[in-house]
């Protein structure tokens, strides 16, 4: 039996090779892997001894040779005689991981170096071995080394076992090629080439999809969810999308904030002197919608806050970290799901790209990001000027991350009213004020944000009747003069950011 080992990531390769030796494998290797194995006492054959041809062209050609690929690809039951005539010996196990293309493009913009870190021989060997999984074991992940050794030692090297490794191998080369193609399009075609490849690594299955009859799973870009811990319960598809919405708003507001989300939209948000107070104030906005919702705690969830949250039914909690004492508070709650991100505060991936499935394909765009200075740099268009921008900034960030049409009212660091996902902006403003009145919340002196311009003055008139003091919006309506006049009549300070944040 022979094994070919050629890895860029050499984690665990020495022990793996020694275990293969003990099992009677003859080890073939290339370049750096050959040197590492030889230096550590592995009896190893350099690949050019097999190919009968020297490594050439600065290492670009090493394994592209019939003695290698014939050894991998020939069918043992049909091609044995032909292989013998050609002097091709079988290679029964191939262990390859690829040149670090991602690490290279993260480290340098030197195109010559980037080109040299596109692996050619590696993917070819992987695909050859995967194609012939009936006879060959293909290993592309160092986490599988122990599993492979166990299969060889304990008669578990079944067709099904090799098939699973084959699928993993094709996933490995497909994601690698997709990464290269996407990079080249980003560099040379403004990121919008003829094809766009979206590849993610599976993190977990969800309990189900949006509805119980649908299957679902969470996939990650890079390693974003590696530190996400499920402390209690099993996430559904909807739980994860709601968590995403809550975390995005909480991160935008900053450490110390608490955000409550229901069906993807915020129904409570606050940032106060401590997390406990932030939660109490966030809950006041809409405690009815908060029932069965998602709570994002941008910090460390302790026992005191956990006890407060536990007073109503909450379906999902996600925090930077959760203390053992806090977790114990929920131990008798069967339906709750609890997650932590393994950090003192919540964080997001801050992806540069965004896409959405539509029937027959998907639409793709640069990601919309809300900058911290958008309100600070906004233009005052009224006679009155703002005295304090904190509530305006908070309202603006929440509005930008909430389904359009949307208006948000914030007072003293807490959201006091919100209208979202409406077909009319004036309806959104009116619904928010109606809800605030039902909750007995005072919006007088509050700051209002709209993620897109007010097309008519009616929304400003409604805000004025409720006692709103400050407004921030993008501006850009053909009736801006009327809207500004309405604000001046009500002695409201109004700011135009010049930036729209539709979220559909």
Residue 199: in which H helix or E strand, if any?
none
DSSP state of 312: S
Q: How far apart are CA 218 and CA 202, in angstroms?
A: 6
**Count of residues in the chain:** 504
User: Which residue, 498, 250, 265, is CA-closest to 404?
Assistant: 265
Percent composition of the chain: helix, strand, coil (DSSP 3-state, to 5): 40, 20, 40
User: Which residue, 348, 368, 466, 361, is CA-closest to 417?
Assistant: 466
Is 172 marked active-site? Answer: no
- CA 140, 146, 152, 155: dihedral to nearest 10 degrees? -120
Of 255, 263, 304, 333, the active-site residue reads 263
Of 10, 18, 102, 131, the active-site residue reads 131
Is 201 marked active-site? Answer: no
What tokens appear for 192 in the block? 């919008």
Residue 205 β-bridge partners? 217
Burial class (CB in 10 A: 0-12, 13-18, 19+), 356: exposed
- Distances in whole angstroms, Cα of residue 345 to Cα of each of 4, 49, 79, 296, 320: 45, 55, 60, 10, 4
Query: Buried b / exposed e across 437-476, counting CB within 10 Å, b at 16+?
Result: eeeebebeebbbbbbbbbbebbbbbbbbebebbbbbbbbe
Is 434 in contact with 456 (CB distance < 8 Å)? no
Whole-angstrom Cα Rg for the chain? 30
Q: Catalytic site residues?
A: 131, 263
């Amino acid at each position: 039996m022979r094994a070919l080992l050629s890895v860029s990531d050499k984690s665990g390769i020495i022990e793996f090779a020694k275990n293969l030796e003990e099992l009677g494998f003859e080890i073939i290797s290339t370049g750096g892997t050959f040197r590492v194995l030889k230096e550590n006492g592995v009896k190893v054959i350099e690949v050019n001894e097999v190919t009968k041809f020297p490594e050439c062209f600065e290492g670009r050609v090493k394994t592209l040779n019939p003695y290698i690929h014939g050894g991998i690809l020939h069918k043992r039951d049909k091609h044995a005689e032909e292989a013998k005539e050609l002097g091709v010996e079988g290679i029964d196990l191939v262990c390859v991981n690829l040149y670090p293309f991602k690490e290279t493009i993260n480290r340098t913009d030197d195109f010559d170096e980037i080109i040299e870190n596109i692996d050619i021989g590696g993917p070819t060997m992987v695909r050859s071995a995967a194609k012939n999984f009936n006879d060959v074991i293909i290993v592309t992940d160092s986490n599988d080394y122990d599993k492979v050794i166990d299969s060889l030692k304990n008669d578990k090297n079944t067709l099904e076992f090799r098939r699973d490794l084959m699928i993993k191998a094709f996933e490995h080369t497909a994601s690698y090629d997709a990464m290269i193609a996407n990079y080249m399009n980003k560099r040379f075609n403004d990121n919008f080439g003829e094809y766009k490849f979206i590849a993610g690594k599976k993190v977990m299955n969800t309990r189900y999809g949006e509805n119980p009859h649908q299957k679902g799973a969470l996939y990650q870009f890079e390693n974003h969810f590696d530190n996400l811990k499920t402390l209690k319960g099993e996430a559904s598809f909807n739980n994860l999308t709601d968590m995403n919405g809550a975390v995005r708003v909480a991160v935008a507001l900053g450490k110390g904030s608490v955000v409550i989300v229901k069906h993807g939209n915020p129904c409570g948000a606050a940032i106060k002197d401590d997390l406990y107070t932030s939660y109490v104030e966030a809950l006041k906005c809409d405690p009815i919608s908060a029932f069965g919702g998602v709570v994002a705690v941008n910090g460390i969830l302790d026992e005191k806050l956990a006890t407060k949250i536990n007073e109503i039914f909450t379906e999902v909690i996600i925090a930077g970290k959760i203390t053992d004492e806090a977790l114990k508070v929920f131990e008798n709650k069967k339906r709750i799901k609890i997650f932590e991100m393994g950090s003192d505060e919540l964080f997001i991936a801050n992806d540069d790209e965004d896409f959405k499935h539509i029937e027959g394909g998907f639409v793709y765009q640069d990601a919309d990001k809300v900058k911290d200075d958008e309100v600070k740099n906004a233009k005052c268009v009224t006679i009155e000027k703002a005295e304090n921008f904190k509530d305006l900034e908070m309202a603006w960030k929440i509005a930008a991350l909430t389904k359009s049409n949307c208006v948000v009212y914030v007072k003293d660091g807490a959201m006091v009213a919100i209208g979202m996902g409406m077909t009319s902006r004036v309806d959104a403003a009116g619904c928010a004020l109606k809800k605030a009145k039902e909750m007995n919340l005072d919006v007088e002196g509050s700051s209002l944000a709209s993620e897109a311009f007010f097309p008519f003055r009616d929304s400003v008139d409604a805000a004025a009747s409720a006692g709103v003091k400050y407004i921030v919006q993008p501006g850009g309506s053909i009736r801006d003069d009327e809207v500004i006049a309405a604000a001046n009549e009500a002695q409201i300070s109004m700011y135009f950011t010049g930036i729209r944040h539709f979220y559909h």
